[in-house]
Amino acid sequence: MLRKQIAAANWKMNLSFQQAEQLLDSLVAQSHSLSDNRQVILAVPFPYLDMAKKKTSLIPHFFIAAQNCYSKKAGAFTGETSADMLVSLRVTHVLVGHSERREYFSESNQFLAEKIDASLAAGLTPVFCCGEALPVREAGTQNAFVAKQLSESLFHLDAEQLKKIIIAYEPIWAIGTGKTASSQQAQEMHAAIRSELQKKYDAATAESISILYGGSVKGSNAAELFAMKDVDGGLVGGASLDAAEFSTIIDALK
């Protein structure tokens, strides 16, 4: 069975409400006809979740994601959003551990494990982000670095829980820098991640999990990246803010 092939958009902290509406209208107007193994996930800013859900509710295989959630179920945590709140908006997915959350908000692997648990308990599908910065890549220790992220944030789960997770590999040195890992570099790391999953669980579990590439994916390089054996789509930043460009990326899915 072909793994789910996914074009995931991360809008980050961009667009006014009106611009977000226009972008979604343009995207929906492209009338993508997606087979059952292809999905589009749109991670939009918190204030736009309800609007985005309504605009895409009739589009098959389109899902709305939050860009973050908190690890606790409820309480005196001003400014935070719980997984249960997201579910009550009929949001289905949530990004966990994006490199910007790790860097700017000091989110540790252990804290991300708690967020993974909270997300799964609420019935959300976490998109777990992992990846290395340039000094790690230059030292040649990227495989061990990413293996540690996986181990400390995901490997407390059993196989059935793990199968509910999407993994996104982000080479941090290739985000917003204009640098892109070569398709071969992307494939090597995706294969290494799948190998770690197989070592901890089993081959069937490892083969079932979608692993997305998240490093300056554009309409011009998506097809080459997605053609790699272990690359199951992309987590797309800047290029997802342009409907035509993101549509090209969707069309490049296997």
Q: What is the pTM of this model?
A: 0.96
Indicate if 61 belongs to the active site: no
Domain residue spans in the chain?
A: 5-251
Q: What confidence tens digit (pLDDT) does each residue in 13-34 have?
A: 999 999 999 999 999 998 778 8
Assess whether pLDDT exceeds 90 at residue 180. Answer: no
Q: Of 61, 93, 98, 190, which one is the catalytic site residue?
A: 98
Domain made up of 5-251: CATH architecture? Alpha-Beta Barrel (3.20)
Give the tokens for residue 157: 């789960």
pLDDT tens by residue, 96-136: 999 999 999 999 999 999 999 999 999 999 999 999 998 99
- Per-residue pLDDT tens over the stretch 45-104: 999 999 999 999 999 999 999 999 999 999 999 999 999 999 999 999 999 999 999 999
| Closest by CA position to 175, among listed 118, 128, 123, 134 | 134
User: Residue 101's closest CA among 73, 75, 126, 74?
Assistant: 126
170 is catalytic: yes
User: Cβ distance 226 to 6 under 8 Å?
Assistant: no
* Residue among 107, 132, 170, 196 flagged as catalytic: 170
Give me the long-range contacts of 106-109 (CB less than 8 A, separation at least 24).
Answer: 109/148, 109/149, 109/152, 109/153
